[in-house]
Amino acid sequence: MHAQNELKTARNIGETTIDEVEIDKFSAIAAEWWDPFGKFKPLHKFNPVRLAYIRDGACAHFGRDRREKRPLEGLRLLDIGCGGGLVAEPMARLGASVTAIDASEANIKTALAHAGPLGLDIDYRATTAEDLLAAGEGPFDIVLNLEVIEHVADPALFVESTSQLVAPDGMLVMATINRTLKALALAKIGAEYVLRWLPAGTHDPRKFVKPEEAKSALMKAGMTVTAEAGVSYNPLMDVWRISEDTDVNYMLTAIKTA
């Protein structure tokens, strides 16, 4: 749990962010993404806070009225590590043209199966950010990497790749878990072994990322961090809310300035 100044790259093992162990872990429970009482129950409770943060930040940056039914109309959005589509679907309903990717084919199949009957036009693909870059995809007005960086094999490459996919003056939103003793106690031990919110082994606390590390990596990738927020859980009210406490969960917004 000792501090480090920056995210370390692992280029010597190949230009990829894929961690096969992590992919297999989430593929095994892919069918449960849309069960609000299943293994992804915490994400369902957490999701409204994330969605409001993204919507409000995007509307403020692009000069949109967040009270409109489809305030993100005309904006291209990339959801990296989309899982079953818990964020991609609401973003599409808000008017964004959504491309959603995940390294797990099982996750993508679940996302497609859920979105299809709803008539949502989302470009789901089983691929990675670096593969999108290699194929000349993008750029995107909004790039999301939410609760993904703590599951990849090469965090530095992941930040670099996702940042390159952002259009000039576009925005990136990153959400992850801080590497603190408090996060170890709550997000790992508490969530997985005490409250049983998540399957045991969901997170490796050694892969948690401190905000200063994430911000440093974003700056090196040509991004300017413009907002930082903590996300805290109130056990008495059983609700999540935006807060100034970044000791456990936090979100960053960065703008492409280069």
Q: pLDDT digit string (tens) for 4-37? A: 456 654 444 346 777 888 788 888 888 899 999 8
Query: Are 49 and 242 a contacting pair, CB within 8 Å?
Result: yes
Query: Are 158 and 17 a contacting pair, CB within 8 Å?
Result: yes
Q: Which residues pair with 144 in a beta bridge?
A: 79, 173
Q: CA 108 to CA 258: how far, in whole Å?
A: 32
| Domain 11-256 classification at class level | alpha beta
List of the chain residues with pLDDT < 70: 1-15, 190-195, 197-198, 258
Q: CA 127 to CA 77: how far, in whole Å?
A: 16
Beta pairing, strands 76-80 & 97-102 = parallel
**CB-based burial label for 50 (10 Å; 0-12, 13-18, 19+):** buried
Cα dihedral across residues 190, 193, 194, 196: positive or negative = positive
Q: CA 19 to CA 227: how far, in whole Å?
A: 29
The set of residues, in sequence order, having a beta carbon less than 8 Å from that of 96 and lying 6+ positions away, is 72, 73, 75, 76, 77, 142
Beta pairing, strands 223-234 & 239-243 = antiparallel
The C-alpha torsion from 43 through 191 and 232 to 25, rounded to 10°, is -40
For residue 139, say if its preceding peptide bond is cis, omega within 30 degrees of 0.
yes
pLDDT at 194: 65
* Domain coordinates in residue numbering, the chain: 11-256
Residue with tokens 């007005």: 141
- Amino acid (one-letter) located at 250: Y
Find, among 106, 110, 108, 127, the residue nearest to 28 by Cα. 106
pLDDT at 13: 38
| This prediction's pTM | 0.89
pLDDT at 66: 95
